[in-house]
């Protein structure tokens, strides 16, 4: 075997996948390992924008259902890890890299701080960031890149807001945005563009509060974490929204928490009000540092 490999085994939403790719690209380079990234098929064209040399492998049907939705338990995770290694080896790796022994694989569950190199030919990384996602991604510099789309559609005179709606059947979410948008509009005095994977809430809020919005292609998926269906933009639409936010005056939710604490305190029953920072917000702010606008 001429190469050693670092293999990302876990796929999630597009934003976290982009963050994983950026982080593991650096780790693989430091370890002098070739990077292999298993992911959802429709994410691959977008992920290639951030690492064109990585080997991307699309998930087979049922991969996520069988493994990625598993909740690790300290008493049984060793058995799970062995089953997962065998599944990855037989399903994806043997046909591409040749048959190998289970002893050649090391399985690591955790974030960048948990990953150590070893003598194993294959490092399988079930990447989870824990509480360090913002710190880790912001410690990495990437080459400036041309976003390819939307770089001249809006500018820094436009205030963009990621309208969270992780349960479209909850009227309290509409009440929250109805209360806070007029305050933002009064304080910033800018034209506001609403970003969201849920077209219904964008259209409702946009027309009521005179904000810009775009109707995009969406898909509905069940969230095991939330316990309900969530409407999201398709992968290409999410990427477009990221670039829009990165090239405008983006107002992340963490800023709303700091500036409108009294309002948010009345909506602590909404889980997005109290949870950690969303990956979309982290990535939009991060990418704003590395986008090269042609002609600027």
Predicted confidence (pLDDT) at residue 149 exceeds the cutoff of 80: no
> Do 201 and 104 have their domain in common?
no
Dihedral over Cα of 13, 17, 20, 22: its sign:
negative
pLDDT in tens, 67-83: 766 555 555 577 778 88
Percent helix, strand, coil in the chain (nearest 5)?
A: 45, 20, 40
User: 30-64 pLDDT, tens per residue?
Assistant: 999 999 999 999 999 999 999 999 999 999 988 88
CA distance 84 to 108: 12
* Mean pLDDT for all residues in the chain: 88
pLDDT 10s digits, 201-246: 999 999 999 999 999 876 666 555 555 556 566 889 999 999 999 9
Query: Which of 105, 137, 169 is the last residue before a domain boundary?
Result: 137
Number of domains in the chain: 2
Mean pLDDT lowest for which of 23-32, 103-112, 198-207, 214-223?
214-223
- Would 147 be classed as within a structural domain? no
Q: Which of 129, 114, 113, 105 is nearest to 20 (CA)?
A: 129
Question: What kind and span of H or E run contains 20?
Answer: helix 14-31
Q: What mean pLDDT is predicted for residues 180-200?
A: 95
Domain check: are 90 and 122 in the same one? Answer: yes
In a domain, 118, yes or no: yes
Query: For the chain, what percent of residues have pLDDT higher than 90?
Result: 67
Exposure string for 186-218, b = 16+ CB within 10 A, e = fewer:
eeeebbbbbbbbbbebbebbbeeeebebbebeb
According to the model, what pLDDT value does residue 204 have? Answer: 96
The secondary structure element, H or E, covering residue 52 is: none
122 and 198, same domain (yes or no): no
Q: pTM value?
A: 0.91
My answer on whether 178 and 105 are in the same domain is no
Q: Residue 205 is part of which domain span?
A: 158-287
- Residue 292: inside a domain: no
Look at residue 103 and tell me if it is in a domain.
yes
Residue of 98, 20, 88 whose CA lies nearest to 54: 20
């Amino acid at each position: 075997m001429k190469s050693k490999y670092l293999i990302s085994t876990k796929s999630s939403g597009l934003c976290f996948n982009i963050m994983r790719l950026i982080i593991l690209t650096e780790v693989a380079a430091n370890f002098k390992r070739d990077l292999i990234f298993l992911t959802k098929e429709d994410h691959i064209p977008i992920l290639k924008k951030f690492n064109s040399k990585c080997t991307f492998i699309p998930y087979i049907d049922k991969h996520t259902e069988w493994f990625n939705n598993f909740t690790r338990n300290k008493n049984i995770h060793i058995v799970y890890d062995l089953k997962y290694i065998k599944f990855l080896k037989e399903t994806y790796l043997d046909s591409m890299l040749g048959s190998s022994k289970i002893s050649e694989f090391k399985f690591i569950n955790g974030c960048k701080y948990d990953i150590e190199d070893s003598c194993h030919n294959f490092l399988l990384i079930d990447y989870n960031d824990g509480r360090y996602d913002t710190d880790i991604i912001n410690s990495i510099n990437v080459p400036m890149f041309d976003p390819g789309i939307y770089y001249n559609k809006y500018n820094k005179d436009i205030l963009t807001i990621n309208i969270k709606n992780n349960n479209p059947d909850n009227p309290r979410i509409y009440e929250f945005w109805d209360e806070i948008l007029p305050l933002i509009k009064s304080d910033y005095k800018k034209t506001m563009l609403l970003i969201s994977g849920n077209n219904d809430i964008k259209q409702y809020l946009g027309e009521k509060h005179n904000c810009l919005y775009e109707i995009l292609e969406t898909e509905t998926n069940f969230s095991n974490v939330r316990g309900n269906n969530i409407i999201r933009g398709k992968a290409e639409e999410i990427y477009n929204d990221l670039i829009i936010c990165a090239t405008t005056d983006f107002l992340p939710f963490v800023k709303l928490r700091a500036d409108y604490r009294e309002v948010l305190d009345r909506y602590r029953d909404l889980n997005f009000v109290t949870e950690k920072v969303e990956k979309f917000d982290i990535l939009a702010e991060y990418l704003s540092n590395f986008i090269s606008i042609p002609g600027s």
